[in-house]
Amino acid sequence: MRISELAASAGLPATTVRYYERVGLLPPPVRTASGYRDYDQDAAARLLFIARARRMGLTCEQITSLLPIWAGTNCGAAHQRVVDLIEEKQEEVADRIAELEQFADQLEGVRRALEAESPPPACRADLTCCVPESAGVPVAIELRPRNQASIPGRSAASSVSAPPARRVSQKVHTPPLKPAIG
């Protein structure tokens, strides 16, 4: 089967199939005389497995650790490894929820502080009348791209239910503002 058919069978774009080949999740397929990739049913089953694992939030590295299933590994060991990976992912999700709840509480505090006082007739040079100093408290949250379709393995349709492929941890903070000169 051609790459477009294989990709469609797992609900992925062809670029993602090529990416999975490049990183070793999918073995390179045989090529037709004209150079087209020609995938078999094993590749379709493997790609579906990879797509499902990615939708559960597993990384490519974690999925690679599961791929010995295709080499005849004991299913019980693979089953336990999936359970372990899911438990790890659940812990990550719980941590993320706690971070977001803390961030939501801080945002609520800033909103209340802003509502508690009337704005001055003219903004202060440091703009603390609009963004109070309490807003500058760093909160450790993970920033994610808004457009999940830009992540390998994501289409716009799958981005709603699927977690991001990769997260970049950054501290969110408000640097002091310098008044404009001029």
**Which residues, other chains included, contact 26 with Cβ-Cβ below 8 Å and sequence gap of 6+?**
17, 20, 43, 46, 47, 50
Residue 167 confidence (pLDDT) above 70: no
The 10 Å CB-count burial string (b at 16+, else e) for 109-129 is ebeeeeeeeeeeeeeeeeeee
Query: What are the residue ranges spanned by the domains of the chain?
Result: 3-172
Q: Give the count of beta carbons closer than 10 Å to the beta carbon of residue 43.
A: 23
Reply yes or no on whether the pLDDT at 161 is more than 50: no
| DSSP type of residue 170 | E
Residues 89, 57: Cα–Cα separation, whole Å: 7
| pTM tops 0.85 | no
The pLDDT score that the predictor gives to residue 13 is: 96
- Give yes or no for a contact between 100 and 69, defined as CB atoms under 8 angstroms apart: no
- Does the pLDDT at position 154 exceed 50? no
The 10s digit of each residue's pLDDT in 66-124 is: 887 666 667 777 788 889 999 999 999 999 999 999 989 988 888 888 888 888 888 87
Q: Are 14 and 52 in contact (CB under 8 A)?
A: no
Of 1 and 143, the structure prediction assigns the larger pLDDT to 1
CB contact at 8 A, 57 and 89:
yes
What does DSSP say about strands 37-38 and 168-172: parallel, antiparallel, or unpaired?
A: unpaired
Residue found by looking up tokens 């590295």 in the block = 61
3-state secondary structure of 141: strand
Place of tokens 């719980």: 94
Whole-number mean pLDDT of the chain? Answer: 77
Q: What's the count of helices (H) and strands (E) in the chain, helices before strands?
A: 5, 4
CATH code for residues 3-172 = 1.10.1660.10
